[in-house]
Structure 1
Amino acid sequence: MPWLQLRLNATAETAEKVGDLMSACGALSVTFLDSKDTPVFEPLPGETRLWGETDVMGLWDAEADMDIVVNYLQHHGGLSEGQRYKLEPLEDKDWEREWMDNFHPMQFGKRLWICPSWRDAPAPDAVNVILDPGLAFGTGTHPTTSLCLQWLDSLELKDKTVIDFGCGSGILAVAALKLGAKHAIGIDIDPQAIQASRDNAERNGVSDRLELYLPEQQPDNLKADVVVANILAGPLKQLASQIVTLPKSGGHLALSGVLESQAEDVATAYSGAITLDPIIHQEEWARISGVAK
């Protein structure tokens, strides 16, 4: 069945009211996208963002009279006069199947391939990570994940311990283990990420070398030879004092999930404890890396 999506801007203070008004006039679902804390929705360098700090999106049956919906929102304060909004049809698709059909094996660096679990590995003699991201973030298709995978492939990981801070699907921890790491530790605030990481480790035959923790469960005084944190610029800055304690002296650290425009600011938060490498860019994203002092 086809759908109609109404998308408009709101503030953090008004978004809930707008969502309630959408529900009251027949929205089948309402979604909030917080642009302030989610870089994937931030503007690209030089781009002016069309929407405000919070996007509110409502979904209606294609037969709904959207003039009535818009008038209702305007009358009840959910849509001010002259405020821009976007109304668009959504084609009815099997979105999961379409995504699976377009997720192909990908190579990172010289040795590493990420291969979805429903496809054959293209290079059986290479280092192949078989991945099913499930409900957790991390497939290798996003530049931030790609930057981290390339970095891991460039290191000598034999007999090393690796921490994947914000492990998501476990792609970085599992890749490190397949590349020769002796032991890996994944940390994430989302229990679904912990489960996805566990499943992917089992799928790749490395579950006996991977420990997984929610932050409140992680051991004290945790240290590793290699630490990678592919999260967001805001949390990377807020948690800098915690993250810089994770690599051993002389250990390697990489940070991503950062836009080019945010990279210098994030790097500054780590410069006191990390001897930084040149910042590496891919598309509009960046990777910050270095060695613990």
Structure 2
Amino acid sequence: MSWTEIVIEVALSDAETLSDALMEAGALSVSVEDADLGTPDEQPLFGEPGMEPKEAAWQRSRVVALAEVDADHAAIVSNAAAACGIAVPPYSLRPVAAQDWVRLTQSQFDPIHIGKNIWVVPSWHDAPDANGLILELDPGLAFGTGSHPTTRLCMEWLEVNVPLQKPASLLDYGCGSGILAMVAKKLDNATTVVGVDIDPHAIDAARYNSERNHCEVAYYLPEDFSSHTSLQVFDIVVANILSGPLKLMAPMLCSRIAAGGSLTLSGVLAEQANDVIAAYAQWLPLTVWAEQDGWVALSGTRK
């Protein structure tokens, strides 16, 4: 089947309502892009959890609606404009070539080598090193495939430090795909491993990934974690989130560290490190363990 993209440039105030109206008028999907992308006027648009932009649009937005090639594209645009109470905007059409989208997507993800011995391998690839620590993990809804520096930093810290511990318990707070919990479990010394995430989809993905990788990990939403493990502390706590939430969660995370236990944080930009270190100072001293591409991992031991 072939498709056509309907491309419309609109003002910030119209982007969201027109997107919804295009879906109602027969578009198969709609996305919004920065019309100034790749120019000096390009506007970065991002935010940390709890501080997201109010609108996922730009001052000059490009609304791209996907439709079937034989659909009445003019009617889709005019009906959407009428529903929004605006004049019919100028638009252009661009064909979408038929492709094997599964193969195209898979071709973008090769095995990832992390640290000395860890491999993250999509299911459609063979493991490059049969003797390595192999995680079979496909890209999905939950964050954490090993491609982002913050995930890599945490995985490298675990590879170096977990084998040095006595048989250890570990808490992965903000577990996403479950990748850090699984690394810890496969490093043998981690006995009890628990993962927590605010996203139910992430919990589902992490459970699925752990089952595929034969890793026994207990996963919880925060409210369930609090009720089921209210007094439990861990030898290792790792949290790969973002600096804002990490600062807010300092009392809670530190209350989960056993005496002599370790804390490792990532999702922190190098310029944010001192602020995060200060937020945890009353419980334990943190230092920069390593840095990659402007991101740092902070680590410390609770006395």
Asked if Structure 1 and Structure 2 have the same fold, meaning a TM-score greater than 0.5 normalized by the shorter chain, the answer is yes
Partner of 1:263: 273
- Answer with 1 or 2: which has the greater Rg: 2
Q: CA deviation at 1:244?
A: 2.0
Equivalent-residue separation in structure 2 for 1:130 and 1:62 (angstroms): 38
Partner of 1:211: 218
Q: Structure 1 residues 231 and 69 mapped into 2: Cα distance closer, same or farther (>3 Å)?
A: farther
Q: How many residues of Structure 1 are paired with residues of Structure 2 in the alignment?
A: 282
Contact 1:30 1:56 in 2 (8 A): yes
Q: 1:234 aligns with which of 232, 244, 263?
A: 244
Q: CA deviation at 1:130?
A: 2.3
Deviations 1:9-29 (A, max 9, x none): 987x98753543444565432
SS of equivalent residue, structure 1 residue 161 = strand
Q: CA deviation at 1:178?
A: 0.7
Q: Does 1:151 align with 2:157?
A: yes
Equivalent-residue separation in structure 1 for 2:71 and 2:273 (angstroms): 45
Q: Which moved more, 1:255-264 or 1:109-118?
A: 255-264
Equivalent-residue separation in structure 2 for 1:5 and 1:280 (angstroms): 46
Q: CA deviation at 1:139?
A: 0.9
Partner of 2:173: 165
Partner of 2:47: 36
Equivalent-residue separation in structure 1 for 2:109 and 2:233 (angstroms): 34
Q: CA deviation at 1:163?
A: 0.7
* 1:33-182 equivalent positions in 2, closer than 5 A: 35-37=46-48, 51=58, 58-60=65-67, 92-157=98-163, 159-180=167-188, 181-182=190-191
RMSD, matched Cα? 4.2
SS of equivalent residue, structure 2 residue 176 = coil
Q: CA deviation at 1:276?
A: 1.1
Unaligned runs of 5+ in 2: 34-44, 87-91
Equivalent-residue separation in structure 1 for 2:263 and 2:270 (angstroms): 18
Q: CA deviation at 1:58?
A: 4.6
Q: CA deviation at 1:38?
A: 6.2
Partner of 2:20: 20
- The one-letter amino acid paired with 2:184 is A
Equivalent-residue separation in structure 1 for 2:301 and 2:132 (angstroms): 28
Partner of 1:45: none
Equivalent-residue separation in structure 1 for 2:178 and 2:157 (angstroms): 16
Q: CA deviation at 1:148?
A: 1.1
Partner of 2:40: none
Q: Report percent identity of matched pairs.
A: 41
SS of equivalent residue, structure 1 residue 256 = strand
Q: Which moved more, 1:180-189 or 1:125-134?
A: 125-134
Unaligned runs of 5+ in 1: 43-49, 80-85
Equivalent-residue separation in structure 1 for 2:197 and 2:160 (angstroms): 25
Equivalent-residue separation in structure 2 for 1:231 and 1:237 (angstroms): 10
Deviations 1:208-254 (A, max 9, x none): xx111111111212311111111233322332221222222222112
Equivalent-residue separation in structure 2 for 1:64 and 1:77 (angstroms): 21
Equivalent-residue separation in structure 1 for 2:65 and 2:242 (angstroms): 26
